[in-house]
Structure 1
């Protein structure tokens, strides 16, 4: 991926008023993939919505990192099930 698709974690921290410990927790629970370049951390811009969801869950709903990990895993499974249901419905429509 190119540099244009990266955003500095420092910018995200300033924008969302985050502390370094929060970012370290997100990284330690492997909730997001960070890129280290020139001793600075970056996140892919396509992952910003995921980071913002993590921020909302943690600060607005007071969910801890373990809970956020569980929620993310459940949402991923639900998305996979939804995709499977859509595929099965499409197959079923062919036979109607």
Structure 2
């Protein structure tokens, strides 16, 4: 069985931070916002099968397919307006 590790953070703190940012931007219209922004989680695994499985695990929750972008990398992305949420499966350090 393949093994993978998904680099994830504190869910509640992340969501609270997003809400705090949205409230701040709403209250301060003079503050510029980026044209686009992105957030993502990373999958580490020693083999391509495990990397793809990890990416598929996250992609399923996002409701999007996984793309093999070559050289051992896999990617899945869902856009929310100008903001992207993605999962990226990266090859072992020795292949980067």
TM-score (norm 2): 0.24
Higher relative contact order (CA 8 A, sep 6+): 2
- The structure in which a higher percent of residues are strand is 2
Please tell me whether Structure 1 or Structure 2 has the larger radius of gyration of its CA atoms.
Answer: 1
TM-score (norm 1): 0.24
- The structure in which a higher percent of residues are helix is 1
